[in-house]
Amino acid sequence: MYRFKSSLFLLGAVLWLADANAQCESWNNSPMKEDLINHHVIYKGALKVEDWKTAEENWAIVFSKAPMADGERESQFWDGAEILKWKLSQAKDDAEKKMIKDKILGIYKQYINCAMSGNIMVKSEEEKNNKIAYAYGRMAFDMYYSLNLPYSQNLEAINNALKYGGVNNEYIIFDPAASIAVYQFKNNGMPKNDVIDLYTKLNDCADYNINNNEALADYYTQAKENMNGTFAKIEDEIFDYTFFKDKFQPEYESDPDNPEVMKKIIKKLKEKQCPEDDPFLAQVEARWEKYAVAKNAEIQKEMEANNPAYAAKKLYEDGKFVEAIAKYDEAIDAETNADKKAQMLFSKASIQFRKLSQYSTARSTAYEAAKLKPGWGRPYMLIGDMYGKAARSCGDAWNQRLVILAAIDKYAYAKSIDAEVAEEASARAASYYGSMPDSETGFMRGIKEGATVNTGCWVSENVRVRYK
């Protein structure tokens, strides 16, 4: 349908990068202008209907002679990358795959060279640098997700994107950059200071766009969250107390009376050997002491007013877990306040799970607690913990990894309904990403990514398959 016969067609797709003098040329002064325009129109039309073979044949011809089309558009570069990624998916052997990968990289490098040499129309030096950064960013993205090239090469492209574009980079580089940095650091392939530098630049980019790029702010927000969830795997190893001060201070200032926030801050800053006379630490500790005195008085009062729950707690502290469960049942039956009853049920579920290994029963109890207190994420966090701990006892390696997906899903749901547990949920989910199913095993089983399958075992959850 889109075939076009001309003298140019005889050149063939193999000549797409043969003419070094045409690396940044347009068809404006070409004696073959009419033919080139026709091939451009044909491949564009073929792309619209996903006729990839026709698109490739015609794109290769026009790109070999006029990569810049009419001199005012750059789409042929990016179209070419997409066309060649399709061709890569069709390749049969390693030699062919390598050749196509080299061609894809060649397109990005060609564009970068054209931009650097002033052959790409720009209004300012900043715009030129942003175009160069865009190409490096897209190249890094493809290196990671499509080309599977060495991380060192990928990291070089990411660093070049940040070098030229700074805060004007696309959010698509965040995930590859974080994943590569974490892997390289864990395997002694990236010094700590380089990881910190990369982390800082990426977060500067994210924050700038969240505050200044209204159209894409949500995308940058989500990408930042995912990126920092990945960096969280090594943050304890690379950052000192000043990092955690900067990380926690906004959270504290937005909710200074939150005891969980206070505990987290004090614990982490002390772990990182923050000086005792640090003003921020001293402020949080003083507020915590005040809270603790008031809370202890409140707890004591509640315990005195609710004898079964108090007895249950004492039994638990004494290691009498079965007796504690029985007392909690008494307290739950007597309680009329839904929130208090939900908390008791949660405590009961925790004992059933953590002390008695009654997983299925504990899950039912946790769901009871969640039902009584909508928007409370803790019960779902607990169920996620159950699944994570139980995974190793649930069938073969494949089914165990499906259970890990179920755990991740529970953390995600907890996070979606309860902002109080969001950070904790992200961290726990991130700790399991490495244990997700692998695509090779899924392929052998005939299971495509995105398919819904049941975990089996006592968990028996339907999960959407994702591969690590």
Q: Where exactly are the structural domains of the chain?
A: 7-207, 307-374, 402-468
Query: Which residues lie across from 453 on neighbouring strands?
Result: 463
- What pLDDT score was predicted for residue 17? 42
CB-neighbour burial class of residue 27 (10 A; exposed 0-12, middle 13-18, buried 19+): buried
99 C-beta neighbours (distance < 10 Å), count: 14
For the chain, the residue count is: 468
- What pLDDT score was predicted for residue 57? 96
139 C-beta neighbours (distance < 10 Å), count: 28
Helix (H) or strand (E) holding 195: helix 192-212
Domains 7-207 and 307-374 equal at CATH topology level: yes
Q: What is the 3-state secondary structure (H, E, C) of 122-188?
A: CCCHHHHHHHHHHHHHHHHHHHHHHHCCCHHHHHHHHHHHHHHHCCCCCHHHHHHHHHHHHHHHHCC
Q: How far apart are CA 288 and CA 115, in angstroms?
A: 57
Q: Which of the following CATH numbers is that of domain 307-374: 1.10.540, 1.25.40, 3.40.50, 3.30.70?
A: 1.25.40
- What pLDDT score was predicted for residue 300? 66
Q: How far apart are CA 63 and CA 25, in angstroms?
A: 9
The pair of structure tokens assigned to 218 is 């949500």
Q: How far apart are CA 112 and CA 91, in angstroms?
A: 27
In terms of pTM, does the model score above 0.85?
no
Q: How far apart are CA 125 and CA 5, in angstroms?
A: 42
Q: Which of the following CATH numbers is that of domain 7-207: 3.40.50, 3.30.70, 1.25.40, 2.40.160?
A: 1.25.40
How would you write the pLDDT of the chain (468 residues) with one tens digit per residue?
334 333 333 333 333 444 434 689 999 999 999 999 999 999 999 999 999 999 999 999 999 999 999 998 899 999 999 999 999 999 999 999 999 999 999 999 999 999 999 999 899 999 999 999 999 999 999 999 999 999 999 999 999 999 999 999 999 999 999 999 999 999 999 999 999 999 999 999 999 999 999 999 999 999 999 999 999 999 999 999 999 998 899 999 999 999 999 999 999 999 999 999 999 999 999 999 999 999 888 876 676 556 788 888 888 988 999 999 999 999 999 899 999 999 999 999 999 999 999 999 999 999 999 999 999 999 999 999 999 999 999 999 999 999 999 999 999 999 999 999 999 999 999 999 999 999 998 899 999 999 999 999 999 999 999 998
Q: How far apart are CA 151 and CA 184, in angstroms?
A: 8
Cβ pair 461, 455 in contact under 8 A? yes
- What pLDDT score was predicted for residue 295? 84
